[in-house]
């Protein structure tokens, strides 16, 4: 999200990715092409965080015996 308070909008760079996710959630198939790679350190940190969230969500749900966390 970007923009001034009261007028936030989804970044134009992110919108195609969000629309692709919507297609997948609706049963469609998409292709992703990375045109220019970003900073590898930031990329790896974001990837690590996603993996950590998955592990933590699974541990919480397993301990509870049902889904307490949101899933996508």
**pLDDT tens-digit profile of 18-71?**
999 999 999 999 999 999 999 999 999 999 999 999 999 999 989 998 887 766
Same domain, 28 and 4: yes
Same domain, 65 and 43: yes
Predicted confidence at residue 72, as pLDDT, reads: 61
Number of domains in the chain: 2
pTM as predicted: 0.69
Residue 1: which pLDDT band, with cuts at 50, 70 and 90? confident
Same domain, 15 and 29: yes
Residue-number span of the structural domain to which 29 is assigned = 1-33
Same domain, 27 and 49: no
Same domain, 29 and 46: no
Same domain, 2 and 28: yes
Provide CB contacts within 8 A for 37, sequence distance 6+. 43
Same domain, 22 and 43: no
22 is written with which tokens?
């919507």
Cα 19 from Cα 61, distance rounded (Å)? 29
């Amino acid at each position: 999200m970007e923009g001034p308070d009261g007028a936030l909008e989804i970044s134009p760079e992110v919108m195609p990715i969000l629309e692709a996710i919507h297609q997948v959630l609706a049963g469609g198939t998409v292709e992703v092409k990375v045109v220019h790679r970003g900073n590898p350190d930031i990329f790896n940190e974001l990837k690590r965080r996603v993996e950590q969230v998955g592990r933590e969500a699974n541990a919480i749900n397993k301990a509870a015996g049902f889904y307490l966390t949101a899933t996508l």
